[in-house]
Amino acid sequence: MPKYLNLYFANVSLDSLIRKYALQNAVFYEGKANPKSVLGKVLAEDESLRSKAKEVSTLVDKIVAEVNTLTLDDQTEELREIAPELLVKEKGVKEIKLPDLPNVKDEVVMRLAPYPSGPLHIGNARMVLLNDAYVKRYGGKLLLVYDDTIGSEEKLPITEAYGYIKEGLDWLQVDIHEVVYKSDRMDMFYKWGERLVNEGHAYVCECDVETLRSLRGKGEECGHRNQSVEENQEKWLKMLDGYYGEGEAVVRIKTDMKHPNPAFRDRVLFRISKRDHPRVGGRYHVWPMLELSWAVDDHLLGVTHVLRGKELVMEDMMEKWIWDMLGVEGPEFVHYGMMRLKGIKLSKSQVRREIEKGALTGISDPRTWSMQSLRRRGFRPEAVREFVLSFGMSLVDIEVPAENLYAENRKLVDAEADRYFFVPNPVQVEIEGLPEISSVEAPLHPEFSERGKREIATGNVVYLPREDFDEYKGEKIRLKDFCNILLDEKSEFVSLQVEDIPKVQWVHDYLVVKVVMPDGTVTEGYGEKNLENTEEGQLVQFERFGFVMIDSKGDPLIAYFAHK
């Protein structure tokens, strides 16, 4: 074969290799392929190209740019034609490499510490799934310790939240070995508080909030710091007996009033709250702050390792200070950075307030990003686990787009989701010159012919998405799995033959459908009649629109949008 032909076929082969991996990467990641990921795949398949990596990289950039101009549907269709095997995702969850826990001796005991003010949201999932992964790795024990003390004026435990949290953990497939309520352990917290007072490590302070804050900021002691132990014991008992009102007295621990971090200077251990508690009512009105309650429980519950965000290093310092004062040992602390979804604010307490105001419909409202909302939208718990654990124990604060989570879920649901037509914001179109065709057939899933086909009624009046009508008006388009038309309000039939022209979904007979979007808005439209055959709780794909979960079947049919 002439040399120029060898070079020609080599380039064609390389172009094809790059293109199939560019298409695969684009399909997996919201239609936008990453050149570096594609280059890695190409070099892994053909190691002889490594010596020409620079030239190959240039070609990858060019082909990726071309692929990224296509729609996600066109990318999927082309990949299905040239390399359908690349549409089949790995099943199951890949093992995530986490660093070893420090100083593991006997059984590993870890704890989850949710505050029951609302359901778990996607931001809480990192704490939950990292703990669960480590406990499963070491064959240890995971405690669910409801952190339900009243330590803040803004936050109060709510009865329903205990169940919401457990429901979220069950959905995430987290194994809990023991459940503990801090509100059941108040007497134990009082014993430790009394011991700190009796041994001169803590004192009752009657300064108002502004005075306390001012002196702490200046590193100056208040007059109560040097009270005798007897005076502090007397005032401690008065606190327990209800002598003081809210804000009139607190218990502070003696740290170092010259510490470089003002927040560490003689922190508050107990405060007074007269509010009723959802589990124990008004039985207690002196409540421990987080550092005291955890210093007690991390020691007494036998916790060996505490995973927490690096922003809680102050809590580490306080727990260690208390243990040192009382001569006891505590667990190892291991930290990780904060993970945020770009553009999304998460707060359990804020969710509760928004629900109470009627701004949110409930805990499964998609704007909450709760585990309940993700389940309602059609997410798989394995996708959440894969997404969260992919960041490991990095100390770097991470802000990631929601598309990364969507990509993980798509890998799991694409193969199982049957396909249907949905026409958002429909426009009526008449087709002139259409042959007598009563129905057409379309596959339930393009990759699994064994699932069968769905029969779709046709006619000379159809409905198309407004967006497509406005974009393609006056052009030749194909009504997917049906026919080709010259698009207008009164369209001209062209042919039945499949052509390489824009493809648009359509309906003739229809159901009214409402799709609840992630931002809480509702997209209304028409869905094909075959949606009558779906079940509530079934995830399907509305072609060229996205994956949705069938929420309720009625008039209208309600679905919740998952992602593209």
Q: For the chain, how many structural domains are there in total?
A: 4
pLDDT at site 382: 96
pLDDT at 41: 79
- Residue 11 confidence (pLDDT): 53
**Helices (DSSP H) in 267-339: which residue ranges?**
290-300, 313-326
The predicted model gives 457-480 an average pLDDT of 97
Domain-located, residue 178: yes
Q: Tell me if 132 is assigned to some domain.
A: yes
Q: Residue 305: its pLDDT value, please? A: 98
Residues 139, 247 within the same domain: yes
Run of H or E residues at 271: strand 268-272
Quick check: 7 pLDDT over 70?
no
Identify whether 446 is part of a domain: yes
pLDDT higher than threshold 80 for residue 128: yes
407 and 431 belong to one structural domain:
no
Closest residue by Cα to residue 431 from 482, 483, 484, 490: 490
Whether 233 is covered by a domain: the verdict is: yes
Q: What is the pLDDT of residue 182?
A: 98
Residue 427 belongs to a domain with what CATH number?
2.40.240.100
The least confident of 22-26, 41-45, 119-123 is 41-45
Residues 48, 117 within the same domain: no
pLDDT tens for 207-245 read 999 999 999 999 999 999 999 999 999 999 999 999 999
Q: Tell whether 95 is covered by a domain.
A: no
> Is residue 96's pLDDT more than 70?
no
Q: Residues 466, 472: contact at Cβ < 8 Å?
A: no
Please enumerate, as own/partner, the contacts of 356-360 that have beta carbons within 8 Å and a separation of 24 or more: 360/520
Asked if residue 124 and residue 62 are part of one domain, the reply reads no
Task: Give residue 12's pLDDT.
Answer: 55
Model confidence at 461: pLDDT above 90: yes
What per-residue confidence (pLDDT) applies to 30? Answer: 65
8 pLDDT more than 50: no
Q: CA angle, corner 88, sides to 84 and 91, nearest 5?
A: 170
Residues 323 and 408 in one domain: no
What percent of the chain shows pLDDT beyond 90? 79
Same domain? For 189 and 271 the reply is yes
Return the percent helix, strand and coil in the chain, to nearest 5. 40, 25, 35
Distance (Å, whole) CA 19 – CA 37: 12
* Average confidence (pLDDT) over 16-34: 85
- Of 335, 362, 395, the position where a domain reaches its end is 335
Per-residue buried b or exposed e for 244-275, using 16+ beta carbons within 10 Å of the residue's own CB = beeeebbbbbbbebeeeeeebbbbbbbbbbee
User: Which CATH number goes with the domain that contains 380?
Assistant: 1.10.1160.10
Quote the tokens at residue 413.
């649901």
* pLDDT, tens only, 284-313: 999 999 999 999 999 999 999 999 999 999
Nearest Cα neighbor of 287 from 274, 268, 270 is: 270
Same domain, 476 and 386: no
Residues 221 and 135 in one domain: yes
Q: Residue 351: its pLDDT value, please?
A: 83
Checking if the pLDDT of 247 tops 60, the result is yes
* Structure token digits, residue 430: 């008449």
Q: Are residues 131 and 52 in the same domain?
A: no
Q: How many CB atoms lie within 10 A of CB 403?
A: 16
Say if residue 521's pLDDT is above 90: yes
Rounded mean pLDDT of 132-140?
A: 94
Mean pLDDT of the chain: 92
Backbone φ and ψ of 510, nearest 5°: -150, 165
Higher pLDDT, 97 or 330: 330
Strands (E), 342-438: 398-400, 418-420, 422-424, 426-432
Cβ-contact 515, 549 below 8 angstroms: no
| Residue 307 within any structural domain of the chain | yes
**Do both 243 and 127 map to the same domain?**
yes
The residue from 312, 335, 358 where one domain ends is 335
- Match 């024990």 to its residue by tokens: 141
Residue 91 has pLDDT above 50, yes or no: no
Give the domain-ending residue among 302, 335, 368.
335
If pLDDT is split at 50, 70 and 90, which confidence band does 417 have?
A: very high
Q: Tokens at residue 321, please?
A: 């200070």
- Considering the domain architecture, whether residues 135 and 165 belong to the same structural domain is answered as yes
Mean pLDDT of 266-276: 95
Q: CATH number of the domain at 285, please.
A: 3.40.50.620
What is the pLDDT at residue 71?
A: 87
pLDDT, position 40 = 72
The model's confidence at residue 1, banded by pLDDT at 50, 70 and 90, is very low
Looking at 199-312, list the stretches that DSSP marks H as alpha helix, in order from N- to C-terminal side: 209-218, 229-241, 290-300
Please check the confidence at residue 277 and state whether its pLDDT lies above 90: yes
Q: Tell whether 92 is covered by a domain.
A: no
For residues 496-500, give the mean pLDDT.
Answer: 95
User: Percent of the chain having pLDDT more than 70?
Assistant: 95
Q: Is residue 342 part of a domain?
A: no
Q: Measuring CA to CA, which residue among 255, 272, 271 is closest to residue 263?
A: 255
Nearest alpha carbon to residue 288 among 304, 303, 268, 305 = 268
More confident residue, 347 or 362: 362
Domain that holds residue 182: 103-335
Mean pLDDT of 305-324: 95
Q: What is the pLDDT of residue 50?
A: 67
CA-nearest of 363, 346, 382 to 165 is 363
What is the rounded average pLDDT of the residues 523-527?
98
Residues 448 and 477 in one domain: yes
Mean pLDDT of 43-66: 83
Q: How far apart are CA 235 and CA 32, in angstroms?
A: 65
* pLDDT tens digits, one per residue of 161-191: 999 999 999 999 999 999 999 999 999 999 9
